[in-house]
Structure 1
């Protein structure tokens, strides 16, 4: 991933690295209602919602509104997007980004879930 697409570079006030080794990078994400992220990229990732949230995830001119309760663990396939907290509460989540290439399974917030 180029640094220009790394969420800790595009939005360092929202994303922070809490753990990293040669196989995974773990990011913590926190935002407030109305906050937006710049376009960034995630590799294949496991997302853990620590708070409920409502947000709009966009990739170019395609947008999806996503509402999630706290305590959900979800697979998110590699993707590039930007986000907007359209809810009335802060977002808090953990992203476990895999460094090994996947087996070609696509999907995620903007695509099929598994």
Structure 2
């Protein structure tokens, strides 16, 4: 698992951590990119409106979010590019408790069903 702070120290900053959660602040500017990194199950809170393209393997997703949203982020590995004209600024509240899989669920955490944040 590639830690976002280790891979992208210019964009991620540790805000808070205890034995249950880790809170990261993320910021970048138009055209900035990130190297491939991983997030566990997380809640993402947008502090600015932004547009980005996320990549994971051969999958890509364009994401456009407004400031003040809270979105669920399935555990995943991705890289990204700020494709808009505004800075990206958000918080990631990463959960440390292990994900409890439902019977018959066999999708690995690095290949989340939904790339990027989900509506629910």
Which residue, out of 6, 11, 17, partners 1:14? 11
Larger Rg: 2
Pick from 78, 93, 110 the counterpart of residue 81 of structure 1.
Answer: 78
Matched with 2:108 is none
Count how many residue pairs are aligned between Structure 1 and Structure 2. Answer: 111
Number of the residue aligned with 1:62: 59
**Equivalence for 1:49:** 46
CA offset at residue 60 of structure 1?
1.4
CA-to-aligned-CA distance 1:19-56 (integer Å, 9 cap, x gap): 00000000000000000000000000000000000000
* TM-score, structure 1 as length reference: 0.90
RMSD: 1.7
Q: CA deviation at 1:107?
A: 4.2
Contact 1:45/1:98 (<8 A) preserved: yes
1:101 has 2:101 as partner? no
Structure 2: distance between partners of 1:21 and 1:109: 27
**TM-score normalised by the chain length of structure 2:** 0.86
Shift of 1:110: 4.1
Structure 1 unaligned blocks of 5 or more: none
